[in-house]
Amino acid sequence: MRTSGRLGDGYVEGERVFAPPQGSFDADWVASLAAEQLARPVARPAVLAAVADAWAAIRLGALGSNDLLEGDHEPDVAAAAVSAAREFITAYDVPVHPPVTR
C-alpha cells in the first residue's frame, strides 16, 4: 500500500473506502466494526473467527445471547462480534435465513 497526497490528508492505495453492497454480509467489514467496540487490541484472526461464528449462529436462529460464542471465544470478543453482526445486518438489510444444505 502506498499513501497518496500529503501525509495525513491522502488515502492509502488499496484501502477500502466503500461499504459492502446492500443485502450482503461482509465478515471482514464486520470484524473491523467489532474491533472498534473492543477496549483492547485483539488479534484480527480471533475477531474474524468470532464474527464468522456469530453470523453462522444468527443464520441458524441459534443465537439468543453471546453465551453461545463464549465457549470458543473470549467473552468481550464474542459480545463485540455479536453486536457488530446484528448492527451490520440491520444497517445493510442483510437477509437472515438458514443456509442451504444438500
CB 98 within 8 A of CB 63: no
Class of residue 7 by CB neighbours under 10 A (exposed 0-12, middle 13-18, buried 19+) = exposed
Parse the chain into domains and list their residue ranges.
Answer: 20-91
Per-residue pLDDT band at 46 (split at 50, 70, 90):
very high
Q: Pinpoint the alpha helices (H) of 7-92.
A: 27-37, 44-60, 67-70, 75-91
Computed over every residue of the chain, the mean pLDDT equals 79
Cα–Cα dist 3/65, whole Å: 41
- Predicted TM-score of the model (pTM): 0.73
